[in-house]
Structure 1
Amino acid sequence: MGTHYATTPFGRRSLTLAHVASQAIAKTRPPEKAVHKWNVFRAICTGKSRIGVSERALAVLDALLSFHPETVLTGDGLIVFPSNQQLSLRAHGMAPATLRRHLAALVDAGLIVRRDSPNGKRYARKDRGGEVELAFGFDLSPLVVRAEEFEAWAEEVHAEERALKLVRERITLCRRDIAKMITTGVEEGVPTRRAGQGPADWTEIHTLYRAIMARIPRSATRSELEPIAEELSLLADEVLMLLETHVKTQIPNGNESQTERHIQNSNPDSPIELEPGFPKKQGARSEPTSEPRRMPEGSYPLGMILDACPDIVDYAKGGIANWRDFLATAAVVRPMLGVSPSAWEEAQAAMGEVQAAVVVAAILQKGAAINSAGGYLRELTRKAEAAEFSIGPMLMALIGARKRDKKRA
């Protein structure tokens, strides 16, 4: 007398064509085929987006696999029959209603097949020798039949993740190169227009760069990032060409000795003066370049400011290790943002040199959220003169926004 397994589920559960297809796939399993259950489970976890199951459903599948006594899935004994109470305990105390919902999701995804008994209970009938003769529960046969399919999906997901990682690395490298090359161009006074062609100035190049960066979504896919990476790569090549053309013009017969003397004569630690016509205040004493500037009185720690405004580091010539580096970098960023010398002078007079530089870093960090950097700085200057502005809440808001973005990512 042959064994008949039920085709339809017990109770009010309906039968769908997808369930019929899963049962048909389970029947095609060769009796001699064997797979490692945990290898299949890892492949399913990797390719869960292709399969259409959630992490909670995978936790239930993990619990179901733990009820199969062998590590290898093979032969006819592939039906597990735990009660909902036992299954809930192994699924980390999942609620009964949630458990039933995720079991249904596993069945709909074709990972398991229901083998319901006449009364809907899960149990096994054994023969006189103690061997399981007939079992009612969940059939794991689809995992054996579709093992190669799950592994192929896992490989595709791994390849997609690797491609996404590569394009992100490309964007990071282009971003670093463009920012530092723009800084060099501003510091060295490199012309951007040749024979009446090219961008008007470095501010225009920086505006184009920030516009490209503003198009990057918070949770971007590879297809969204690839065109942006291509645009950044082209922009980086164009900026590098400007610098190389300037170097060839300055040193037409350049050799190693001339290049070496040029590097030795430069002073990367000296403050950058982008506005020669701006008079220095009388009585100001220059600090020695070998000694880093201490934290100004009443200011926030430099590490906290860089945590709130990390984008300014991209414009530093050799990183920001002290306040002198920070102030020099802010002097480079200020004209790129379109802040006029008069607005900058008023901000320094109202806030102080350090706080004005911090505000510039904050404006850079906010990016496209500020339409006019110069107008925004003048408004903050007016509030500072009226004692209505404090830089602390601005830094806290930026740090909080970065933490929220990391959580969303």
Structure 2
Amino acid sequence: MHVPQALPVRRCEAVKPTLPRGMERDGFVALVDAVASSLGIGAAAMMTFRTMIAATRPSAFKRGPDEPCCYLSQNEIAHKRGVTACRIREHEAALVRAGLIEKRTMANGARSGFSGCGVFFGVAIKRVDEFLSLRDEIEADRRAHARLRGQRSSHKRHLKGILCELIECQGQTAAVERIYQTFVEWPSGQALHRMSLEELQNHEAEAEALTISASQLLHEMHDRPLENERSHIQDTTQDSNQVICNDPVDTRSVGKPTRMITDKPQPDGSVHCMEKQDEAASEAHKSKFIQNLGSDRLYGLCSEEMKMWLDIERQKRGRLDFHSFVIAGQKRLPELGIHPSAWEEAVGLLDEDAAMLCVLITDAKVADPEVTILSAGAYLRGMVRLSGLVL
């Protein structure tokens, strides 16, 4: 009787993790570097990660039977890094906790390519999709942080201009003093970079509320229609060449308003100081151009999406002023796919009200079905640079 032989059992070998199509080893390292801080990995441990992964074969990340592995001993890695082996052990422990490496060593801790023992990177390669999503979140937060810093900067410039006029017209009243005292406690621009996104969001909202409060106080003082108001976007923008020229103030003092508002030391002299006369006249001329357009006409030129942001600003303020257009324009930038650096460049080359006009024009062109714009950011930057040359 014929007894059939048992067929050999085929073992399912685990498929080694590989990078997605289009990503090489160096791109993988750049990806890990972008998310390292969110994983709790510091700069020193990341340097050790780079040193170990540089000892692997780039092709192992894409094809071949072997998982990418670093066989260097801790002493060899320490020598390459210029640190002690103890520091390398600390870094490796941190990388293991973060899920970036897996250590497979002999009983005595030795590593060898012959025995397949060392530091393996498959655990991190498996997480590429997770890291890509995390990088996108980090970049979105970074852009939001930059946009909020820009808005706070706009609030600061606008509020300084309002305070100057309030002090000039009213003197140091109790209401003005309260606004000023809160204003001087605002964190510096450098301090903003150290804030978390949530902290910055709260501060920007408080700064906007204070600016709106001051603007309403000024509006009540003028008691005239908004369309006739002077733009307060630029603190250098005045109806004449008058500028405040006093010594820097001791912020602990009260009752000396005119020297509180300056950002930098000004020369001694009267309030009719005529230095930088041409520059001030140019700024005043541009602001009058914006003023003559009027808020209603500007609003009519905007896209429906921009009008939505302006309606939000109108609801906050009870009316539209030119600062509303500046803030609405900055909030529209991410929806257009424009990096905050484009706004910073526009303000640096032109001024804030002209930069706002460029954003409004770019937004209107994008919304026009008869106009094809491949990159709103490139269009805005080109317009700003051309305007800067003309001016």
TM-score computed with the length of structure 2 as normaliser: 0.52
- Equivalent of residue 100 in structure 1, options 81, 84, 89: 89
1:150 shift after superposition: 1.4
- Equivalent of residue 111 in structure 2, options 122, 127, 144: 122
- Equivalent of residue 157 in structure 1, options 120, 138, 160: 138
Going from structure 1 to structure 2, the CA distance change for 1:244 and 1:72 (only over 3 Å counts) comes to farther
Counterpart code for 1:243: L
1:58 and 1:326 mapped to 2: Cα distance?
Answer: 56
Going from structure 1 to structure 2, the CA distance change for 1:323 and 1:42 (only over 3 Å counts) comes to farther
2:75 aligned partner: 85
- CA displacement 1:197-244 (0-9 Å, x = unmatched): xxx442232234345659x88942121121221122122122223333
- CA displacement 1:170-208 (0-9 Å, x = unmatched): 22221222122111111123897xxxxxxx442232234
1:69 shift after superposition: 2.5
Whether the 8 Å CA contact 2:18–2:61 is kept in 1: the answer is no
- Equivalent of residue 177 in structure 2, options 199, 203, 206: 203
More deviation, 66-75/52-61 = 66-75
Whether the 8 Å CA contact 2:244–2:259 is kept in 1: the answer is no
Counterpart code for 1:231: E
Counterpart code for 1:168: R
Going from structure 1 to structure 2, the CA distance change for 1:98 and 1:246 (only over 3 Å counts) comes to same
Going from structure 1 to structure 2, the CA distance change for 1:253 and 1:212 (only over 3 Å counts) comes to closer
1:237-256 alignment, distance < 5 Å: 237-249=212-224
1:136 aligned partner: 117
2:177 and 2:172 mapped to 1: Cα distance?
Answer: 12
Gaps of 5+ in 1: 1-25, 126-133, 193-199, 257-262, 273-301, 329-409
Counterpart code for 1:38: D
1:236 aligned partner: 211
1:178 and 1:184 mapped to 2: Cα distance?
Answer: 10
2:73 and 2:184 mapped to 1: Cα distance?
Answer: 59
SS of the equivalent of 1:323 reads coil
SS of the equivalent of 1:324 reads coil
1:191 and 1:202 mapped to 2: Cα distance?
Answer: 6
Whether the 8 Å CA contact 1:313–1:320 is kept in 2: the answer is no
2:360 aligned partner: none
Whether the 8 Å CA contact 1:40–1:150 is kept in 2: the answer is no
2:381 aligned partner: none
Pairing 1:48–2:36 present: yes
Going from structure 1 to structure 2, the CA distance change for 1:217 and 1:72 (only over 3 Å counts) comes to same
Going from structure 1 to structure 2, the CA distance change for 1:82 and 1:30 (only over 3 Å counts) comes to closer
Counterpart code for 1:203: E
2:77 and 2:92 mapped to 1: Cα distance?
Answer: 10
- Equivalent of residue 164 in structure 2, options 183, 193, 198: 183
TM-score computed with the length of structure 1 as normaliser: 0.50
Q: Note the aligned Cα RMSD (angstroms).
A: 4.2
1:258-407 alignment, distance < 5 Å: 266=240, 268-269=242-243, 315-316=261-262, 322-324=267-269
Of the two, which has the highest radius of gyration?
Answer: 1
Pairing 1:73–2:61 present: yes
Pairing 1:113–2:102 present: yes
1:356 aligned partner: none
- CA displacement 1:46-69 (0-9 Å, x = unmatched): 212321222111111101111012
Gaps of 5+ in 2: 1-12, 231-236, 253-257, 274-391
1:27 and 1:326 mapped to 2: Cα distance?
Answer: 80
